[in-house]
Chain A
Amino acid sequence: MSQIKISNLQKSFGDFTAVKNSNLTINDKEFFVLLGPSGCGKTTTLRMIAGLELPTSGEIYLGEEEVGMLRASERDIAFVFQLFALYPHMNVKNNLSFPLKMQGYSRSEIKTRVEEAAKLLRIDHILNSSISSLSGGDRQRVALGRALVRRPKAFLMDEPLGTLDAEFRELMCLELKKLHIDIGATTVYVTHDQLEAMSLADRIAVMDGGEILQADEPAVIYNKPATKFVASFIGSPGMNFINIDQGISNEQSTLNIEGTNFNIPKQYEISKSKKNSFGIRPENLSLTNEGGLKGSVFGVEYLGSRKIVTVKTNFGEIKVKTNISTSVKINENVQIKPSNNNIIIFDGETDRSLKSEFMN
């Protein structure tokens, strides 16, 4: 097992830059998730770590070794593909032993390792089945098994749960997490599903447009997003933004919106722009009768334990997560107020969050 480090990594396909100047350190034994919308460069980054794509520039370190220009077969990593890529002309056992055969292990060693991996993944009863007869979950387990048998330096997974149905996905998510705890392997996992990312990751890197916007623990990513994109991409629904046509000065701790003064965390940074946005998560807002932002109820979604009320204001639609007892009708006039001080101001020019008492 090893630490993975990428520095100034860049990948271009013709005129298109898929990955821009990325820097990242993935610690030994860490479960690291690359999260982002499709086309954000997360899969390209993973494929460069695997050696399936060669970087245009920059370095990749696997442990101490610089592997950026090595062939995939020379890197000692395992890769789990979205479509599993199990060899259909071999049975489960042969799929599992395929990586070992190349490394010149003895027949008995191969047998021991395959059985060990099969036992760990609870697929020992289907070793002689053909791939086409397996369910999605079992295929997933075989794919993981094929990665496990070799005991590689790192596991790379490209949306391995993407093709499973919702029920299986939840189950496999748990199994993956347990497996990671059991074998403690450095894992890089790519997904566009934030729930998967949140539940699996030790740390998450959020990517967009080929750039790594923020890499941190799930709670930090959620509560203290570094950019407006991270704030809106993470969370369901994402963060609310209210555009404010005023600059932010150092030490400022109130903000006037539509004639009402709101408390904000004490700001430690001067905004570059005169058009910034005020960001707050739906659960940090509450409905009130006075002293808030005016609007009318546009829609109510019932989520079982919570309700999401969408309010139409002069600043666009704002979503408020309220508790279940709140009863509002469509078109009813309401006012919205922050219920705590978890407020982030995003600079209009850079889209970065400004430093404050909360965003320290």
Chain B
Amino acid sequence: MDTSRSYLEPSSFSKKLAATIIIVYTVITLIPISWMVMTSFKNVNSAISYPPEVFFEPSLEGYVNLFTNRSRQSQEYLDSLPPPENWYEELVRSREMVITGPSKFLGRYSNSMIIGFGSTFASVFLGALAAYAFSRFRVPLKDDLLFFILSTRMFPPIAVAVPIFIMYRKLGLGDTHLGMIILYTVVNLSLAVWLLKGFMDEIPKEYEEAAMIDGYSRLQAFFKVVLPQAMTGIAATAIFCMIFSWNEYAFAVLLTQFNAQTAPPFIPTIIGEGGLDWPAIGAGTTLFLLPVMIFTIILRKHLLRGITFGAVRK
């Protein structure tokens, strides 16, 4: 009999089974994403060819189309132009077009960045302060207040779209970065307060008491002692908030048009010649995926510990 392992350790068969299931699941999840990335490197024709091409000659046409506006010109006109100055101009001319200027994508993308990171920071910061107060102080009607905060998530946020639209127009917040940051912060804040309160409850109050006795004010103790220990929770909360505000579509369509429009409502509107420009859309979504992916990878170490919060006392 094999006595080298404990009863609690899974057998090698169940380990293999678990590994197989995880691999199969990962592959299934990755198919649409890899298809998206592949589409971004196809040209317009191979993107819509049937049967779909799995092996194809990669092209950067999608990315060029994403970042530029172009117009079709006659061959005579093209011949009259000086030779192309760089590779992307050459690529565009081979499609009998000229670049007329940069597209709006970069602006929309940076709007997404500003609004996404701005509202994530605001939600986590305000959420941490509120969670700390709920966790440590004798707040009157504490349970009712916490329930009220949670109840703001009991209907889909879009249900209040019309009042918000009207309010924003009167307040001059429509199509502004500040307006979108406020809106996403409001939606995320209840999640942030609830998640972070759990983490704050886990941190013994002796830490900030020790700091206060060592001569720090409560606010200083909060920043120097409590926040560093709540990093796990802050990372987890930040990822959830970031994913929501990064991906949000409905409010972005409704409230933004030019100045503060984010990437989600913009990408589907990329129209090429004679229909949707699938490689450009693929390129846009691939680039759109990257920040959240990088953000999550950076915070992954904290996130993994964060998901199991409350399970084990440190």
* A contact residues vs B (CB 8 Å cutoff): 50-52, 71-73, 75, 77-79, 81-83, 85, 87-89, 98-99, 102-103, 146, 150
Q: How far is the CA of A82 from the CA of B206 in the complex (A)?
A: 9
In the complex, chain B residues 219-234 whose Cβ is within 8 Å of any chain A Cβ? 220, 224-225, 228-229
Knowing A83-B204, A85-B206, say if A73 contacts B229 (CB, 8 Å).
no
Write 26 A-B pairs (CB below 8 A) sorted by A numbering. A50-B213, A52-B209, A52-B213, A72-B209, A72-B212, A72-B213, A73-B216, A73-B217, A77-B213, A78-B213, A82-B206, A85-B204, A85-B206, A87-B210, A87-B225, A88-B229, A89-B228, A98-B211, A99-B214, A99-B215, A102-B214, A102-B216, A102-B220, A103-B215, A150-B214, A150-B215
Knowing A85-B204, A85-B207, A87-B207, say if A79 contacts B213 (CB, 8 Å).
yes
Interface of B is mostly: helix
Q: CB-CB < 8 A to A102: which residues of B?
A: 214-216, 220
Q: How far is the CA of A79 from the CA of B215 in the complex (A)?
A: 12
Nearest 9 pairs of A and B residues by beta carbon: A99-B214, A85-B206, A102-B215, A85-B210, A89-B228, A72-B212, A81-B206, A79-B213, A73-B215
A85, B212: Cβ atoms under 8 Å?
no
Q: CB-CB < 8 A to A85: which residues of B?
A: 204, 206-207, 209-210
A73, B212: Cβ atoms under 8 Å?
yes
Q: Which residue of B lies closest to A104 (CB)?
A: B215
Q: How far is the CA of A78 from the CA of B211 in the complex (A)?
A: 10
CB distance from B222 to the nearest CB of A (A): 13
Extra inter-chain contacts (9) besides given A73-B216, A78-B213, A79-B210, CB under 8 Å: A52-B213, A71-B212, A81-B210, A83-B204, A85-B204, A87-B207, A87-B210, A102-B214, A146-B210
Interface size on B, residues (CB 8 A): 18
Q: Which residue of A lies closest to B207 (CB)?
A: A85
Q: CB-CB < 8 A to B215: which residues of A?
A: 73, 99, 102-103, 150
Option from B209, B224, B225, B228 in Cβ contact (under 8 Å) with A81: B209
Q: CB-CB < 8 A to B206: which residues of A?
A: 81-83, 85
Q: How far is the CA of A72 from the CA of B224 in the complex (A)?
A: 17
Q: CB-CB < 8 A to A103: which residues of B?
A: 215
A79, B216: Cβ atoms under 8 Å?
no
Q: CB-CB < 8 A to A75: which residues of B?
A: 213
CB distance from A110 to the nearest CB of B (A): 13
Q: CB-CB < 8 A to A98: which residues of B?
A: 211, 214, 224
Q: CB-CB < 8 A to A78: which residues of B?
A: 213
Q: CB-CB < 8 A to A71: which residues of B?
A: 212, 217
Q: Which residue of A lies closest to B225 (CB)?
A: A87
CB distance from A301 to the nearest CB of B (A): 37
A89, B229: Cβ atoms under 8 Å?
yes
A146, B214: Cβ atoms under 8 Å?
yes
Q: How far is the CA of A236 from the CA of B220 in the complex (A)?
A: 46
Interface centre among B213, B225, B229, by most chain A C-beta atoms within 10 angstroms, is: B213
Q: How far is the CA of A146 from the CA of B229 in the complex (A)?
A: 19
Knowing A73-B215, A85-B204, say if A79 contacts B209 (CB, 8 Å).
yes
Q: CB-CB < 8 A to B225: which residues of A?
A: 87
In the complex, chain B residues 261-309 whose Cβ is within 8 Å of any chain A Cβ? none
Q: How far is the CA of A146 from the CA of B211 in the complex (A)?
A: 11
Q: Which residue of A lies closest to B216 (CB)?
A: A102
CB distance from A37 to the nearest CB of B (A): 22
Q: How far is the CA of A81 from the CA of B215 in the complex (A)?
A: 16
Q: Which residue of B lies closest to A158 (CB)?
A: B206
Q: Which residue of B lies closest to A89 (CB)?
A: B228
Q: How far is the CA of A99 from the CA of B220 in the complex (A)?
A: 12
Q: CB-CB < 8 A to B211: which residues of A?
A: 87, 98
CB distance from A91 to the nearest CB of B (A): 13
Q: CB-CB < 8 A to A72: which residues of B?
A: 209, 212-213
Q: How far is the CA of A30 from the CA of B216 in the complex (A)?
A: 27
Q: Which residue of A lies closest to B210 (CB)?
A: A85
Q: How far is the CA of A184 from the CA of B210 in the complex (A)?
A: 22
Q: How far is the CA of A77 from the CA of B204 in the complex (A)?
A: 21
Q: Which residue of B lies closest to A14 (CB)?
A: B138
